Amino acid sequence: MSFIDDYSRKTWFYFLHAKSETFSAFKSFKAHVEKEANASIICLRTDRGGEFTSEEFANYYTHQGISRQKTTTYTPQQNGVAERKNRTILNAVRAVLHEKCVPKLYWPNAVWWCVHV
């Protein structure tokens, strides 16, 4: 799962085993970013994936004062920043792994490296 700051384009990646881990990953991300920036998250734009539209998330958004922007179904153009960023990173990962003949076992390490670079 990736989080991208719309202003600076800074990117954070979280590797999940299942979509059910999304909520705990978001809470961890929120705590980390708010402490780092000394500011709160005011808006979150997501697709309409079930992991972001759960009742648990809705209650959390309301309680934390975060406004939600949900894109229309099957329109990745509305979330273009995330779509382009993810495509760029994954293309770089595939290129690095292929060029150096690295096994796919190291996919997460390659993602971390590409995001850092």
CATH code for the domain in which residue 17 is found? 3.30.420.10
The count of domains in the chain is 1
Of the candidates 99, 91, 82, the one whose C-alpha atom is nearest the C-alpha of residue 117 is 91
Report the predicted TM-score, pTM, of the whole model to 2 decimal places.
0.82
Predicted confidence at residue 37, as pLDDT, reads: 92
Residue 80, amino acid: G
Q: Across the strands, what pairs with 46? A: 70
Predicted confidence at residue 2, as pLDDT, reads: 92
> What CA–CA distance (Å, rounded) separates 26 from 109?
21
Predicted confidence at residue 66, as pLDDT, reads: 94
Helix, strand or coil, per DSSP, at residue 79: helix
C-beta atoms surrounding 57 within 10 Å: 19
pLDDT in tens for each of the 117 residues of the chain? 999 998 899 999 999 999 899 999 999 999 999 999 999 999 999 888 888 888 899 999 999 999 999 888 888 888 888 889 999 999 999 999 999 999 989 999 999 999 988
Contact indicator for 14, 1 with CB cutoff of 8 Å: yes
Full residue range of the structural domain in which residue 81 is found: 2-116
